[in-house]
């Protein structure tokens, strides 16, 4: 049989056409379908986590609300805004790739990356704050604060921290000699508000009382439930953050290719496919934000009494 | 009462519970269906494979694409059959897992690698479960550590022992015997060793076992065993002063002053009353905190306790016959039970 | 033609094919050719099958006697766990898709390669990395949680290398996901002109259905094993009730994947059987559309029945009823397939080549496996049978008697396509029969043991169970011989075997029409398909007369 390499040189090689495909439209269809299939499995991946969240929150809604009140909704909201804008810049990147406009592509990819990095930066600030306030759910993984040390101010004071405090995210820093996970009195207060109002679920009563018949609230048990909230918070946002980092890597590669003027009306599907991935990461956050940050906010505003 | 003979190969375990036969029937039904289809299809395959064996190489046989009626037929018929299997299973399942209300309760806690069992009357067992036949028994089960499973093949039932929650199981044993208990959910190192036996016994033998009577144990000895070990009386009535419970040494047939002013003679009837309805006649100077043992002691055991309390007053021998528990039970009906015959608790049946 | 002339033809310059085009290691390790990737997978999974098989032999040897005398129970626990993990994740799940699926799907649909050849290579690399994690754990002390790694034993109590193996399984999952993704896209977009959906071989349909399950189910076990690893590492989490978690949540998450996983471990096998039965009866498969759609039905319904692994977990009676009903429903498509395969034999022209023996064996064994699934789906009965050897027998019938037998049949069937060589029919038939006999002898007694009440995962058991265990071990010895034999005669054929005749059975599938073994890009020219699936004779442009002539002229034997 003849040498098969020869046959393939007979075709005009469009830029970027891979050898297994007959033509560009087949390649583009394949790439796009491939990314949709990949996103379907990503949904199932996060879906497992959302299922665990669903089960635990249905059982202990007030503990979840208490935990959620520790989170800085301002920073979370800021992150949401950042991601939405980044999705805009991403969509525009695809548009300009289609148009073959190299400069706009580059600007927009860079902007998308800036927003992505901002997102990660804000997450870093949040995680650090958890570390300092003793809400990392693993004992020993929080900041060790010896007795008497806790009156000092933290060295970093960003301007939006004051806004954050106003939005209800203010926290006390207690002594924490062993770096344990700890909850605050206000968390127990919240549970008591719910108890008085009569809307603790049966699971909650079993879960929060040390003695069911005596209706004694157990701080230890409530701490355990709030710890579950924070565990889910870190795993879900951590996994999401990892996906974000991968997304930034993809953007970097896109930037490199765009710099080389690879994309045009004829061949822009990698940009579109990368866009799909980016939008997906955005959408996961849109779900995470309210489920993690906005629980029980009406209590902070003074509502929920009876 | 003996294990199955190991000299032959048994096909299934004894049927020792009220619903075991149902499970076996379902099994046979399914075996029947399976044999029918397996033999049937294998026979057809053999038949076709031989009848239509190749006589020339590269033959091009008939064009047969398919047949919708046939497809519908062999979709519908298996569906009907599988539905019958479903319904049969559902019925048996309801029988196995819906706990009858009037069951005798037993508590089971699984832990690596043993079963801790406690009867409502206070008896504890490790890895063994004594039950009377002909009685509905409900097990409430949990685990201290990992997931285990309480399995009794002879009863055809099992349920997981899950830490953090309670699961329930019930059965009614139909014949006396010794039946395996297995742990049926892998739980670590000694999973295969985490078993024991259910000892199903005639009611009378079970009562004997429950009352802790060893043959030739006198009522006083039985009463002492109950007082000090099995029922925990000694926790409050340990003897001497400054106890939570009234002093019992030397009180028999003496006058006792009660809260409220009344004075009563501490005879057999009073002792019996104090065990079954302690709040009614509290000794002066003591709190009404004694729990009732109604439903937790049999008549026989009350007699034994009375005998023991009597013995604390140096009045041994006033109780009825001291030889066998059975005889004690008989004479019991003539002596103590008369005034309280209608209050007699149905602990034994 | 003279004898010497015939020899002349055979001695012409050997053609360039995907194997001999470049012998360097680099060309293999950096290949984009789906066929080379398939061969590398074949070598890898065979290696793991050997290890898993050694574990199986150890189990059967220990179970010869009631006491835990060959192994301590702690060691036995590790042995059965590792047998399960290796066989399920490193052998059965990849076996047919990664070897035969990879090799044949592009050929069968007339494509030059899969849609994403580099992702295919990445799948292989991921598989190797995952295996390294598992091997590391095995060598440094093993894991003893059972392949199902139930919490809280796996999260809190086990003292073995749970995290290492867990991470290995996590990584391995992506290998399967990427393979499934590749197949789905390829089947959608890369079919040759004229190759409509309903002209595709049923092997391809089966892999399409399998791929759906792989991409939707595997991520769930991935997240579950990740959560177990995190919980184990941080000693806090959502599964151990001692810290507020729920072990039943673990079971739901685990079985949501692991039930569909078993369909990954049977659907590809069913796809092969459709090919074998049709080829060796020389008839179109009876009820093609029904078989195709039943594969999809199994994939979809397979996601709805996970609770049938939890009937005795304490879940509500009503949940149990719902899952039992759905389990009965999912049995029907498999029944339809069995009837259709049998009907295909009717008025066919049946030959008894080795692959056909495996094919027919599959039908019988899968029948028993599937029917015993009904036993286990019937709630009242399964309360007694679950967690006993009945379950062990059931799943070995479908996984070994089903998928493994189909895999062996497929390897023998397409051996000529993959290697261009012919293996010894005599030894092929012998080992097929030994496998069939040995398998039944090993696992049928276990049904009886299960009903008697012998629980699974027991290192030591009561004496009355010994006789049946001895039978089972005896059968395992026969089975082992039957399984080892192909290694020898297949390897022998590779180096010293006769060249196989081109399209020796005169079949219409595209994988038979091209050169044996195929060139790197599969076809000289993109084929145009005008015939229906499983066509024979003229309709498919087969040149039967010429093949017959060739038969009579060349010396036989």
pLDDT digits (tens, 9 = 90+) for A123-173: 999 999 999 888 999 988 988 888 776 554 555 555 555 555 555 555 566
Measured CA to CA, the distance from residue C391 to residue C368 in angstroms comes to 13
C223: nearest CB among A20, A22, A49? A49
Q: Does B74 touch chain C (CB under 8 A)?
A: yes
Extract the tokens encoding B72: 């519908």
Express each pLDDT in A225-237 by its tens digit.
Answer: 999 999 999 999 9
Give chain C's radius of gyration (CA, Å).
24
Averaged over A229-255, what is the pLDDT?
96
Q: Which fold has domain B104-210?
A: Immunoglobulin-like (2.60.40)
- Between chains, do C190 and A56 touch, taking CB under 8 Å as contact? no
Residues 159-198 of B with CB under 8 A from C: 159-160, 162-165, 167, 180, 182-193
How much is the CA Rg of chain A, to the nearest whole Å?
A: 25
Question: Domains (ranges, CATH) in chain A?
Answer: 24-300 (1.20.120.80)
pLDDT of C350: 94
* Pairwise CA distance, residues C149 & C128, whole Å: 22
DSSP string, C77-123: HHHHHHHHHIIIIIIIHHIIIIIIIHHHHHHHHT-SS-S-HHHHHHH
C152 preceded by a cis bond (ω within 30 of 0):
yes
From first to last of its 557 residues, chain C has per-residue pLDDT tens of 445 554 544 445 568 889 988 889 999 999 999 999 999 999 999 999 999 999 999 999 999 999 888 998 999 999 999 999 999 999 999 999 999 999 999 999 999 999 999 999 999 999 999 999 999 998 999 999 999 999 999 999 999 999 999 999 999 999 999 999 999 999 999 999 999 999 999 999 999 999 999 999 999 999 999 999 999 999 888 999 988 899 999 999 999 999 999 999 999 999 999 999 999 999 999 999 999 999 999 999 999 999 999 999 999 999 999 999 999 999 999 999 999 999 999 999 999 999 999 999 999 999 999 999 999 999 999 999 999 999 999 999 999 999 999 999 999 999 999 999 999 999 999 999 999 999 999 999 999 999 999 999 999 999 999 999 999 999 999 999 999 999 999 999 999 999 999 899 989 999 999 999 999 999 988 899 988 888 887 777 777 777 676 665 544 33
* Residue bearing tokens 């699934």: C373
pLDDT of residue C549: 67
CB pairs under 8 A between B and C: 295
Q: Do C524 and A207 touch (CB under 8 A)?
A: no
With contact defined as 3+ CB pairs under 8 Å, the chains touching B are C
C509: left (phi over 0), alpha (psi -120 to 50) or beta: beta
Lookup result for tokens 């835990």: C68
Cα–Cα distance, C264 to C180 (Å, whole number): 10
Spatial separation of the C-alpha atoms in residues C93 and C213, rounded to whole Å? 11
| Residue C274, CA atoms < 13 Å, CB-side half-sphere | 32
> DSSP state, B199?
E
Question: Which of B4, B44, B66 lies closest to C290 in CB terms?
Answer: B66
Residue partners of A155: CB distance under 8 A and separation at least 6: none
- The number of CA neighbours under 13 Å toward the Cβ of C416 is 21
H-only helix segments in C202-353: 202-234, 247-264, 267-281, 288-301, 317-345
Domain range B219-343, CATH class: mainly alpha
Asked whether the bond before A119 is cis by omega within 30 degrees of 0, the reply is no
DSSP string, C128-175: HHHHHHHHHHHHHT---STTTT-TTIIIII--S-HHHHHHHHHHHHHH
3-state secondary structure C329-344: HHHHHHHHHHHHHHHH
DSSP notation for A103-149: HHHHHHHHHHHHHHHHHHHHHHHHHHHHHHHT-SSSTT-SPPB-TTG
User: Residues near C245 by Cβ (< 8 Å), separated by ≥ 6?
Assistant: A228, B164, C151, C152, C231, C237, C238, C239
How many residues does this entry show for chain B?
Answer: 349
Span A83-107, average pLDDT: 95
The four Cα atoms C314, C318, C321, C326 give a dihedral, to 10 degrees, of -100
Residues of B in contact with C290 (CB under 8 A): 66, 71
CB within 8 Å: C371 and B149: no
Q: What are phi and psi of C430, to 5 degrees?
A: -60, -50
Pairing label, strands B128-132, B196-201: parallel
Q: Please say whether the beta carbons of C408 and C419 come within 8 A.
A: no
Chain A residues with CB-CB distance to C115 below 8 A: 20-21, 30, 34
Q: Which residues of B touch C241 (CB under 8 A)?
A: 162-165
The SS3 assignment for C345 reads helix
Q: What is the mean pLDDT of residues A235-248?
A: 97
User: What is the token pair recorded at B138?
Assistant: 């409900």
Task: Domain ranges for chain B, please list them.
Answer: 20-48+66-97, 104-210, 219-343
Q: Please, what's the b/e burial string for B8-47 (b: 16 or more CB within 10 A of its CB; e: otherwise)?
A: eebebbbbbbbbbebbbebbebbeebbeebeeebbeebee
For residue C160, the distance in angstroms to the closest alpha carbon of chain B comes to 11
Band of the pLDDT at B349, cuts 50, 70, 90? very low
Spatial contact of C122 and C163, defined as CB atoms under 8 Å apart: no
Residue of A183, A225, A231 best to disrupt the C interface, most CBs of C under 10 A? A231
Would the CB atoms of A48 and C219 count as touching at under 8 Å? Answer: yes
Q: Using CB atoms and an 8 Å cut-off, which of residues 77-106 of chain B contact chain C? A: 78-79, 82-83, 85-86, 88-98
CB of C94 within 8 Å of a chain A CB? The answer is: no
pLDDT at A273: 94
Tell if the CB–CB gap between C73 and B55 is shorter than 8 Å.
no
Query: In terms of C-beta density within 10 A (0-12 exposed, 13-18 middle, 19 or more buried), how is residue C90 classed?
Result: buried
Name the residue among C546, C494, C535 with its Cα closest to residue C512.
Answer: C535
* Per-residue confidence (pLDDT) for residue A9, from 0 to 100: 44
Per the CB < 8 A criterion, the answer to whether C314 and C283 are in contact is no
CA distances from A98 to A22, A273, A280 (A): 22, 13, 21
Does the domain made of C31-553 have the CATH classification 1.20.210.10? yes
Q: What angle do CA C261, C167, C184 make, to 5 degrees?
A: 40
Say if residues B300 and B328 touch (Cβ distance below 8 Å).
yes
Query: How far is C368 from chain B, CA to nearest CA, in Å?
Result: 7
Whether the pLDDT of residue B343 is over 70: the answer is no
Question: Chain C window 8-27: which residues touch A at a Cβ cutoff of 8 Å?
Answer: 15-16
Q: Is C230 on the interface with A (CB under 8 A)?
A: yes
C216 close to A (CB below 8 A)? yes
Residues of A in contact with C227 (CB under 8 A): 48-49, 52, 235
pLDDT (tens digit per residue) in A262-280: 888 888 999 999 999 999 9
C-alpha distances out from residue C32 to A48, C43, C113, C121, Å: 34, 17, 9, 7
Q: Indicate which of B147, B148, B170 best probes the interface with C, i.e. most C CBs within 10 Å of its own CB.
A: B147
Q: Which residues of A touch C (CB under 8 A)?
A: 1-4, 7-8, 18-22, 26, 29-30, 33-34, 37-38, 40-42, 44-49, 51-52, 55-56, 137-139, 141, 181, 207, 221, 224-225, 227-228, 231-232, 235
Q: Provide ipTM, 2 decimals.
A: 0.89
Q: CB-based contact (8 Å) between C2 and chain A? A: no
Domain residue extents for chain C: 31-553
Tokens of A89: 């810049």
Tokens 């992702």, located at residue: C119
- Preferred mutation among C381, C457, C501 to probe B, highest tally of B CBs within 10 A: C381
Interface of C with B in 358-377 (CB under 8 A): 360, 363-364, 367-368, 371-372, 374-375, 377
Task: Show residues of chain A in contact with C249, CB under 8 Å.
Answer: 52, 55-56
- Cβ contacts of residue A190 below 8 Å, gap of 6+? A62, A65, A66, A69, A296, A299
Output the CA–CA distances (angstroms, integers) from residue B127 to A93, B116, B117, C448, in the order listed. 70, 6, 7, 26
């Amino acid at each position: 049989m003849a040498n098969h390499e020869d046959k393939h040189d007979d075709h005009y090689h469009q830029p970027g056409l891979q050898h297994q495909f007959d033509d560009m439209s087949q390649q583009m269809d394949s790439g796009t379908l491939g990314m949709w299939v990949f996103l379907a499995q990503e949904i199932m991946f996060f879906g497992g986590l959302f299922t665990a969240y669903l089960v635990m929150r249905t059982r202990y809604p007030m503990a979840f609300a208490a935990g959620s009140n520790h989170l800085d909704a301002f920073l979370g909201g800021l992150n949401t805004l950042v991601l939405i804008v980044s999705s805009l810049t991403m969509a525009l990147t695809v548009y300009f790739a289609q148009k073959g406009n190299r400069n706009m592509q580059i600007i927009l990819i860079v902007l998308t990356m800036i927003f992505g990095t901002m997102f990660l930066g804000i997450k870093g600030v949040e995680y650090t704050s958890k570390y300092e306030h003793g809400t990392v759910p693993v004992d020993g993984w929080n900041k060790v604060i010896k007795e008497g040390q806790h009156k000092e101010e933290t060295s970093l004071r960003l301007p939006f921290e004051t806004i954050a405090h106003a939005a209800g995210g203010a926290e006390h820093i207690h002594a924490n000699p062993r770096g344990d996970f700890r909850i605050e009195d206000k968390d127990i207060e919240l549970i008591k508000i719910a108890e008085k109002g009569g809307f603790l679920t049966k699971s909650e009563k079993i879960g929060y009382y040390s003695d069911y018949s005596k209706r004694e609230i157990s701080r230890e048990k409530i701490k355990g439930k709030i710890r579950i909230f924070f565990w889910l918070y870190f795993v879900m946002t951590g996994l999401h953050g990892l996906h974000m980092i991968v997304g930034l890597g993809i953007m970097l590669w896109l930037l490199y290719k765009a710099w080389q003027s690879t994309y045009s009306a004829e061949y822009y599907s990698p940009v579109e496919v990368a866009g799909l991935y980016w939008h997906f990461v955005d959408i996961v956050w849109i779900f995470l934000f309210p489920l993690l940050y906005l629980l029980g906010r009406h209590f902070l505003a003074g509502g929920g009494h009876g | 009462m003996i294990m199955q003979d190991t000299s032959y190969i048994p096909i299934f375990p004894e049927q020792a519970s009220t619903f075991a036969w149902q499970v076996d029937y379902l099994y046979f039904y399914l075996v029947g269906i399976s044999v029918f289809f397996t033999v049937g299809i294998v026979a057809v395959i053999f038949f076709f494979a031989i009848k239509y064996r190749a006589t020339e190489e590269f033959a091009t046989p008939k064009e047969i694409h398919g047949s919708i009626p046939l497809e519908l037929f062999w979709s519908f018929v298996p569906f009907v059959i599988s539905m019958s299997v479903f319904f049969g299973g559902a019925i048996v399942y309801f029988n196995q897992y819906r706990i009858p209300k009037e069951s005798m309760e037993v508590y089971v806690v699984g832990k690596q690698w043993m079963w801790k069992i406690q009867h409502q009357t206070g008896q504890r067992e490790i890895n063994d479960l004594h039950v009377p036949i002909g009685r509905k028994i409900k097990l409430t089960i949990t685990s201290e550590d990992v997931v285990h499973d309480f399995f009794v093949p002879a009863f055809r039932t099992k349920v997981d022992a899950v830490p953090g929650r309670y699961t329930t199981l019930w059965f009614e044993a139909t014949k006396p015997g010794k039946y395996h208990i297995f742990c049926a959910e892998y739980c670590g190192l000694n999973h295969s060793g985490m078993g024991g036996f259910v000892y199903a016994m005639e009611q009378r033998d079970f009562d004997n076992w429950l009352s802790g009577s060893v043959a030739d144990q006198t009522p006083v000895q039985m009463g002492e065993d109950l007082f000090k070990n099995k029922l925990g009386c000694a926790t409050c009535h340990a003897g001497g002063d400054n106890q939570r419970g009234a002093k019992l040494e030397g009180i028999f047939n003496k006058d006792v002053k009660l809260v409220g002013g009344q004075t009563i003679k501490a005879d057999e009837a009073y002792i019996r009353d104090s065990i079954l309805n302690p709040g009614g006649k509290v000794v002066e100077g003591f709190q009404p905190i004694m729990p009732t043992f109604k439903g937790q002691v049999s008549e026989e055991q009350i007699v034994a306790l009375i005998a023991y309390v009597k013995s604390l007053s140096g009045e041994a021998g006033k109780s009825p016959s001291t030889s066998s528990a059975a005889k004690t039970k008989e004479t019991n009906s003539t002596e103590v039970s008369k005034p309280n015959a209608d209050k007699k608790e149905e602990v034994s049946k | 033609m003279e004898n010497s002339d015939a020899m002349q033809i055979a001695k012409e310059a050997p053609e360039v094919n995907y194997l001999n085009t470049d012998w360097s290691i680099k060309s293999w390790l950096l290949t984009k050719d789906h066929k080379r990737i398939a061969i590398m997978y074949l070598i890898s999974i065979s290696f793991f099958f050997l290890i898993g098989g050694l574990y199986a032999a150890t189990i059967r040897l220990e179970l010869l006697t009631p006491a835990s005398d060959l192994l301590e129970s702690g060691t036995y626990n590790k042995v059965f766990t590792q047998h399960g993990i290796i066989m399920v994740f490193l052998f059965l799940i990849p076996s047919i898709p990664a070897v035969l699926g990879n090799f044949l799907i592009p050929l069968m649909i007339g494509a030059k390669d899969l849609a994403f050849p580099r992702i295919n290579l990445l799948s292989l690399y991921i598989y190797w990395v995952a295996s390294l994690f598992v091997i590391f754990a095995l060598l440094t002390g093993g894991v003893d949680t059972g392949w199902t790694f139930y919490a809280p034993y796996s999260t809190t109590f086990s003292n073995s290398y749970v995290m290492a193996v867990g991470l290995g399984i996590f990584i391995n999952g992506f290998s399967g996901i990427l393979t499934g993704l590749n197949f789905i896209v390829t089947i959608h977009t890369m079919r040759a002109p004229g190759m409509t959906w309903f002209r595709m071989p049923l092997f391809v349909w089966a892999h399409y259905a399998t791929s759906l399950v792989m991409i939707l189910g595997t991520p769930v076990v991935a997240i579950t094993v990740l959560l177990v690893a995190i919980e184990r590492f941080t000693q806090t989490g959502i599964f151990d009730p001692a810290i507020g978690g729920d072990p039943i949540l673990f079971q739901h998450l685990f079985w949501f994947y692991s039930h569909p996983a078993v369909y990954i471990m049977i659907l590809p096998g069913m796809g092969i059987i459709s090919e074998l039965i049709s080829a060796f009866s020389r008839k179109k498969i009876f009820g093609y559309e029904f078989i195709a759609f039943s594969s999809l039905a199994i994939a979809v319904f397979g996601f709805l029945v996970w609770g049938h692994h939890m009937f005795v977990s304490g879940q509500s009676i009503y949940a149990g009823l719902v899952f039992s009903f759905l389990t009965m429903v999912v049995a029907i498509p498999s029944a339809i397939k069995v009837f259709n395969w049998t009907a295909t034999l009717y008025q066919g022209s049946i030959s008894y080549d080795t692959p056909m023996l495996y094919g027919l064996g599959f039908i019988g064994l899968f029948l028993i496996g599937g029917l015993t699934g009904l036993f286990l789906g019937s709630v009242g009965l399964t309360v007694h049978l679950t967690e006993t050897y009945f379950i062990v027998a059931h799943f070995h019938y479908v996984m070994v008697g089903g998928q493994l037998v189909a895999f062996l049949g497929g390897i023998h069937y397409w051996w000529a396509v993959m290697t261009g060589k012919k293996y010894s029919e005599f030894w092929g038939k012998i080992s097929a029969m030994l496998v069939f006999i040995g398998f039944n002898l090993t696992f049928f007694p276990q049904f009886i043991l299960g009903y008697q009440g012998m629980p699974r995962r027991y290192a030591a058991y009561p004496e009355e169970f010994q006789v049946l265990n001895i039978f089972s071990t005896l059968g395992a010895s026969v089975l082992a011989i039957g399984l080892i034999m192909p290694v020898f005669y297949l390897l022998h054929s590779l180096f010293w075997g006769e060249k196989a005749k081109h399209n020796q059975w005169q079949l219409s599938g595209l994988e038979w029409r091209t050169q044996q073994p195929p060139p790197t890009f599969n076809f000289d020219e993109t084929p145009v398909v005008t015939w229906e699936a499983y066509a024979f004779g003229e309709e498919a442009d087969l040149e039967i007369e010429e093949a017959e002539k060739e038969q009579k002229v060349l010396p036989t034997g």
